[in-house]
Amino acid sequence: MKLKVRNFDLTAGGKHIVILNEEFAKNIGIFPMDRAVIKKGNKSLTVVVDLASVILGEGLIGTFREVWKDLKLRDGDTIEFELAEKPSSIEAIKKKINGEELNKNEIYSIVNDIVKNNLTEIELTYFVSACYMKGMSLEETYHLTKAMIDTGERLKLKRYPIMDLHSIGGVPGNRITMIIVPIIAAYGLIIPKTSSRAITSPAGTADTMEVLANVTFDINELKKIVLKTNGCIVWGGSLNLAPADDKIIKIEHPFSLDPESQMLASILAKKMAVGSTHILIDIPIGKGGKVEDIEHARHLQRQFLRLGARLNINIQTVFTSGDEPIGNGIGPALEARDVLLVLHNRGPRDLREKSLNLAANLLEMSGKVRRGKGRKIAEQILISGKALKKMREIIKAQNGNPNVNVSDISIGKYSYDFLSDRTGKVELIDNTMISYIARILGCPRDKGAGIYLHKHIDSHVKKREKLLTLYSESEGKIDKAIDILKQINPIIIK
């Protein structure tokens, strides 16, 4: 069937969607959510059909930006339209819903269809939900990881070793990456760090680094940055590295789902796609975090080590405290300030200590530093100013201002000091509530929004002393956060 194109300058959230007139579609037996293949010349695209009663006449097809850009369609073009069969991966998804184990070919078919946008959002949601509820075996997780790597681009540096690290998250603040990367790079090791944006947290590393420099690059630009500076801190979502993972994350976001198998595959696929040979995994343990007890932490450790052995990469894990936020700032701009302060040999002691300890582990993992000597070398690099100098090189290579100072980083113009209602000692800081309030304030989209922690666990506090300062770029958002803060105090003092 031939149809004439009408382009709409609207996006469909990355999905390939077309629109037909409702009456016209009914007459030819087409229903909402049907799949079709549209062709122009020798190019074709699988799309999902939606219907409208007014905006299109008979014989017309409306295309969203994703479709007309991919097929290079113009208004008035004639395209071929035919209904398509459901992809074979649907049967594999049904199999996982029933709790059955998937084989290599079935997993590859699912991942391939995710990357090619052949699955509707509903179908992909069923797959994510099935993995969350039924779980995946180590063998399935291995094939999922490999499929994610094989369906995306790869960074080829021809260097060895290539270092990397990842924190599984759940702890606000915790911007250790932005201190560790310049330490490792200053020592002369390669560390191409791709990071995520926040899903449920106040800020991801990419959100915070974006305060200081650009984080969006293609694979060729990334290679130039790494070869020039030994390191980078960029957003992985712009690189087409394991692209299926980014599409899965979008589905997980609304319900804060994080199936273990997909978390493992997501982390290791992105690391292997940049050529990482030595990976340090930080597993914070604490109430309100992703890992609340040592048993769960040891289970994850075993899974990472087993999967690393299958993938032939050197993985080590480290357990760290996740009982409270790391650093004082929570939110992109406030966290960037903390990072610069530490690199200037000031700033939050807990952030400095955790960064040095993990940097020491990475140095020793590389085989270039003797066991037990890593901490001293990492500290020397920080104290000497070499880490700061390297960070400025990375910022410059990523098109930021290499001379940026703490005072240059602006924070939200609306603020509120939350005071203690008693004298005592801080017993608990609720990570979940801190993250929730920070997001109400506008994090991570509003870079200047966030929370500054004046006290940590075991700090002594006097009545009417500052516990938190809230910052927002919106008066309405800060008022809402204050209301919630007064109802549910995230800091317990006894």
Give the chain's domains with CATH numbers.
2-83 (2.40.40.20), 89-135 (1.20.970.10), 163-239+264-406 (3.40.1030.10), 410-493 (3.90.1170.30)
**Mean pLDDT across 426-431:** 94
**Among 235, 233, 231, which Cα is nearest to 249's?**
235
In the chain the first and final C-alpha atoms are separated, in Å, by 74
* Angle CA 430–435–438, to nearest 5: 125
**Among 221, 203, 226, 254, which Cα is nearest to 438's?**
203
- Report whether pLDDT(238) > 90: no
**Are 350 and 356 within 8 A, CB to CB?**
no
The tokens for 46 are: 């699988």
pLDDT at 256: 67
Distances (CA, A) of 379 to 181, 183, 376, 456: 13, 9, 5, 24
Q: Which of 70-74, 339-343, 463-467, 471-475 has the lowest mean pLDDT?
A: 70-74
- The C-alpha atoms of residue 56 and residue 52 are separated, in whole angstroms, by 7
**Mean pLDDT across 458-467:** 96
* Angle CA 322–327–331, to nearest 5: 100
Q: Where are the alpha helices (DSSP H) in 274-344?
A: 294-311, 332-343
The model scores a pTM over 0.75: yes
Question: Per residue in 51-81, pLDDT tens?
Answer: 988 788 888 999 999 999 989 999 899 999 9
Q: What is the CA radius of gyration of the chain?
A: 25
Mean pLDDT of the chain: 93
Q: Which of 131-135, 405-409, 424-428 has the lowest mean pLDDT?
A: 131-135
pLDDT at 392: 98
Question: Per residue in 146-177, pLDDT tens?
Answer: 999 999 999 999 899 999 999 988 899 999 99
Active site residue 258: yes
pLDDT at 269: 93
Residue 4: helix, strand or coil by DSSP?
Answer: strand
88: pLDDT confidence band, cut at 50, 70 and 90? confident
- Report whether pLDDT(258) > 80: no
Question: Per residue in 283-335, pLDDT tens?
Answer: 999 887 789 899 999 999 999 999 999 999 999 999 999 999 999 999 999 99
Distances (CA, A) of 214 to 114, 297, 303: 28, 34, 34
Residue type, 52: A
Q: Is 76 exposed, middle or buried (0-12, 13-18, 19+ CB in 10 A)?
A: exposed
- Report whether pLDDT(201) > 90: no
How many CA atoms within 13 Å lie on the side-chain side of 248?
Answer: 29
120: pLDDT confidence band, cut at 50, 70 and 90? confident
Find the catalytic residue in 113, 246, 258, 282.
258
**Among 431, 176, 433, 450, which Cα is nearest to 329's?**
450
Question: Per residue in 34-44, pLDDT tens?
Answer: 888 999 988 88
